[in-house]
Amino acid sequence: GKTVSARDIDPFCSTAIDNLVIPYGVKTIKSLGDYVESVTVDENNQYFSSQDGSLFNKDKTELIKFFDHECEKYVVPDGVTSIADGAFKNMYSGYNLQEITFPDSLKSIGDYAFYCCDVLSKIENLDNVEYIGEDAVTSTQWYENQPDGMLYVGKTLLGYKGEMPKNTSVSVNEG
């Protein structure tokens, strides 16, 4: 296996990295590429933290990037209020995430959060979600299994799934 420091990573590199170590002084991360298997953050880092190999902000209210490519069922930790843009993006090509459960605290799902999570078929506890970003779930099996028509995620209108017939009148739910 290969372990490297965040200072050494080339985001365009196609070399598999078993564990990426985020040292104390790192304040921003622009890209981690698609070949990182897990992340470990120095406990003294003031901006980031890790749990079970995934990257969070320091106080674990935002899940920044999920890395467990073998995981079939994932429960987002209590206290997480947002899933970052692209946090689960590109979990395809043999990755196994099929089910995810959100905590009651989750309010926001970023753009492309689950983009290309082809086998993700079960998403639980969307009731408290107030914002869902562009194409956050549209390329998942869960989305494909939803009936055509107005599609809500929690209280948020995701959009109209399928082809809307001409002269269709649409009513949006309150909330």
Q: Which of 112, 150, 161, 104 is nearest to 132 (CA)?
A: 112
Element housing 56 (H / E): strand 54-57
The enclosing H or E element of 144 equals: helix 141-144
Token duo for residue 72: 């079939």
At residue 15, the pLDDT reads: 65
What is the per-residue pLDDT for 80? 98
Q: How confident is the prediction along the chain (175 residues), in pLDDT tens digits per residue?
A: 444 445 545 554 556 677 888 898 888 887 776 667 788 999 999 999 999 889 999 999 999 999 887 889 999 999 999 999 989 886 555 468 999 999 999 999 999 999 888 899 999 999 899 999 999 998 899 999 999 988 888 778 888 888 888 888 877 777 6
Rounded to whole angstroms, the Cα distance separating 56 from 84 reads 9
Alpha-carbon span 121 to 170, nearest angstrom = 27
Distance between first and last Cα of the chain: 50
- CA nearest 85: which of 120, 108, 50, 112? 112
Would you state the torsion angle of the CA atoms of residues 152, 153, 155, 156, taken in this order, to the nearest 10 degrees? -80
DSSP character for 147? P
- DSSP-derived secondary structure for 92-121: -SS----EEE--TT--EE-TTTTTT-TT--
> Does residue 80 contact residue 62 with C-beta atoms inside 8 Å?
yes
pTM over 0.95: no
CB 148 within 8 A of CB 159: no
Tokens of 85: 């843009």
